[in-house]
Structure 1
Amino acid sequence: MFLWQCLTLLLLITVQICKAQRCDEFTDLNFSHAIIGTILKIRLLLYTRDNGTCGTLMSHTNLSAHPQFNLSRPTTFIIHGYRPTGSPPMWLQSATELLLAKTDINVIVVDWNRGAANVNYFKAVENTRKAANNLTAFIEKMQKHGASLSSIHMIGVSLGAHISGFVGANLNGSIGRITALDPAGPQFIDKPPEDRLDSSDAQFVDVLHTDIDALGFREPLGHIDFYANGGTDQPGCPKTIFSGGSYFKCDHQRSVLLFLDSLNQMCASRAYPCSSYKDFLDGNCLSCDQFGAAGCPVFGYDITEWRDVLLRLGQTKTFYTTNAKSPFCMTDYKVDVMIWNEDERWGYITIKLHGNGEEAVATIDHKAAKFKKYTETKLLAQFDKDIQSVKKVSLKFSTGNVFKPKYKLRVLRIRLTNLERKERPLCRYDILLQENEEITFRPIPCKESNF
């Protein structure tokens, strides 16, 4: 009898432990659900530093049922987009963990997979309004329990960006911040502000564009809009349809990966205000004077450091480039070249920086540069990594002409200025470049009169 009582007690304790450790998961559907079509259902999964890897399904009506939901902390909502296969977004866990590592907040994952999983994209678009109304009611309940709307941050991906905008509009633009990661374009292009995300939907709206020629939205939507790699083809993504599904979604999904990289703080991607990506690549938009001592804005979670100046400047459109994989950030240099050939030369420059056993490469080949005697040619060189202490520099000049005679470029002076670090530019004087032949030299600090 005693043994039986002990076993029963042990079983009850085990059941209670299992209940205590039970985690609520994001709705996992499959392609058959999308074919049949799903009816909208909103589930809110709460994560805090106390349960960073174990979600808690929240009540929409009884907030006091969740003691770990501290309304004195800021709250960040993560809202996914269209899910044509029904599978959970692969990046959700990383997003919650990185956000909680960054700061002590409530993270609420908005699971509207039942509603987003549908081969009929138009039905998913229709559900965005309904999802927004549901979230609005929940946030109003938070407000009644003491939460500040200014402390709410909504991170919306694709359709989730417009859901965030609808919520913000319902609350008269009072929420603190909306971060829109490649807002969806189809069914939202050419719509008035009330039918899509708009800068008036929150006190501060920051937007990233990575697929403006397909699934994303081309025009600016926020107080600041970042166009990574011009907002179109992302490096490392497939270039042909033969790559399968990744050809269609890689550019669009890159927006999330770039944002997660900014949370990692492995490095910073500084973006430059410009009217076009072409002008940016041509090195015509490297001034950051309007932003004061902070310099040009850095893409990502910490963009709020520039919030006040951005609100004063009005809508700001910025550009930057990335690597093909994490860490995505590149290191930018302004390169000034002056030649003393009698005849004009047109061509491309490849630069390598060497230091501490590392090498960084920048190929300036988006268009042929024009080099003219005693005239400074300004170029933007973007290196795949940052060499903290440059010991040597390699240069190569090419024209791309296979059948013509090989040219020489007589460089009177080349000057390399790191745009991130306020240090003396590096120079080299009197170099003869043979076409397609790399030359390596030790740079020296530029003379004062040269910068």
Structure 2
Amino acid sequence: MAFVGYLCIVLLVTGVLSVPTHRRSVLHGSGSGHLPVKSEPLPRFVGSDDVTLYLYTQINPLTPEIVKLEDDSSSPSFNPKNPTRLVIHGWISNAQNLHGFRDAYIAAGDDYNIILVDWSGPAAADVPTAVQNAVLVGDYVGQVVNHLIESRGLDPDQLVIIGHSMGGHVAGIVGNRVGGLAAEVIALDPANEIFDDNPLEDQLDITDAKFVQIIHTNGGGFGQPESRGHADFFPNGGIKQAGCGEDISGGCSHNIVLNFYIESIVSKDFVATLCSNYQEFSQGGCSSNQHVAMGEWTPFSVSGSYYLNTNPNSPFAQGHTEL
């Protein structure tokens, strides 16, 4: 079933996806793709009223500073010498749902610029409009990142852009607007089908960074089923996840990828095997193939499709094979 059908089930039946506690006046757009929508004019500009970039560091681990395009003094703790992680939520979500990323990077003990992107207002629109908004959000965040590069000394080789669901496409769009110079774009179960009618620069694409990693957990439902990155990972086959039960809506499998990645920040134990498909992997047919860590510690030199199994509960990583 397509992304939109699954989202309707989740919202009406399971309530898996969280709704933002506040909703700004959302942006309006004309829909494209598979769903009809009333024709309305697109906004000409998306700015700080629609998107907020919250900066956390070891200096301010709980109280964010705001990264602004027009005011560098609002984020004095940003250090261009440190690696930067830009994390972007998906549809009908907000930056509060990304605090696990913040906490894991802080707990790792290294000095990161952790920037959580909140586009909860534009993301609260109906799906076709939110897809249009996602492009505009990517445009704006791309402007901010380019400002960090040009005016504050951010090294693109130190930049990793991470996005979940619709946010996976926003991450790709930001990467495109930075000229594909970011070290990595990581798409966590990127949204299926609804961006397919967009030009490549307005959806997740392998050219969006020097290395594009995709983790598939609900392929063919909420998420894209096919390999589109330099390295694609398919935990438990990439469709239905251990610990999610029957998961008729697919919402659990779609969202559990957030937990996988957060755990990978402090663990290299998500060991995946290069293989042509999950059945062959499960039968041991690829046991002599290359093994790599999924997530935060994936080497940029790898390519292909990788498979692994996870535990049904935390800790999810099994880590049975030496890298």
2:80 to 61, 71, 75: 71
> 2:67 matched to which residue of 1?
58
Is 1:101 matched up with 2:101? no
Contact 2:216 2:224 in 1 (8 A): yes
CA–CA distance in 1 between the matches of 2:135 and 2:73? 27
Deviations 1:317-336 (A, max 9, x none): 0111111111112254xxxx
> 2:253 matched to which residue of 1?
251
1:258 is matched by which residue type in structure 2? F
> 1:139 matched to which residue of 2?
145
Q: When you count strand as a share of all residues, which structure comes out higher?
A: 1
> 1:405 matched to which residue of 2?
none
If asked which structure has higher relative contact order (CA below 8 Å, sep 6+), I would say 2
Contact 1:189 1:217 in 2 (8 A): no
Is 1:160 matched up with 2:155? no
Instruction: Tell me how far 1:179 sits from its aligned partner.
Output: 1.2
Structure-to-structure mapping, 1:17-96, within 5 angstroms: 28-29=20-21, 33=23, 38-39=26-27, 41-83=50-92, 88=94, 91-96=97-102
Structure-to-structure mapping, 1:50-449, within 5 angstroms: 50-83=59-92, 88=94, 91-102=97-108, 103-118=110-125, 120-145=126-151, 146-189=153-196, 193-239=200-246, 241=248, 247-265=249-267, 268-288=269-289, 291=290, 296-303=291-298, 306-308=299-301, 310=302, 315-330=303-318, 332=320, 419-420=321-322
Percent pairwise identity: 31
CA–CA distance in 2 between the matches of 1:285 and 1:55? 45
Q: Secondary structure at the match of 2:300?
A: helix
CA–CA distance in 2 between the matches of 1:420 and 1:174? 32
Deviations 1:344-382 (A, max 9, x none): xxxxxxxxxxxxxxxxxxxxxxxxxxxxxxxxxxxxxxx
Instruction: Tell me how far 1:142 sits from its aligned partner.
Output: 0.9
Cα RMSD after superposing both structures: 2.2
Q: Secondary structure at the match of 1:301?
A: coil
- For structure 2, list consecutive stretches of 5 or more residues without a partner in the other structure: 1-18, 28-45
Instruction: Tell me how far 1:190 sits from its aligned partner.
Output: 7.1
Contact 2:95 2:116 in 1 (8 A): no
CA–CA distance in 2 between the matches of 1:89 and 1:61? 21
Instruction: Tell me how far 1:53 sits from its aligned partner.
Output: 1.1
Contact 1:273 1:285 in 2 (8 A): yes
CA–CA distance in 2 between the matches of 1:58 and 1:89? 14
Instruction: Tell me how far 1:207 sits from its aligned partner.
Output: 1.1
Number of aligned residue pairs: 282
Please say which structure displays the higher CA radius of gyration: 1
Deviations 1:161-198 (A, max 9, x none): 11111121122211111111111113134766434212
> 1:367 matched to which residue of 2?
none
Deviations 1:137-180 (A, max 9, x none): 11111122222122111111111111111121122211111111
- For structure 1, list consecutive stretches of 5 or more residues without a partner in the other structure: 1-26, 242-246, 333-418, 422-451
1:201 is matched by which residue type in structure 2? D
CA–CA distance in 2 between the matches of 1:227 and 1:191? 25
> 2:34 matched to which residue of 1?
none
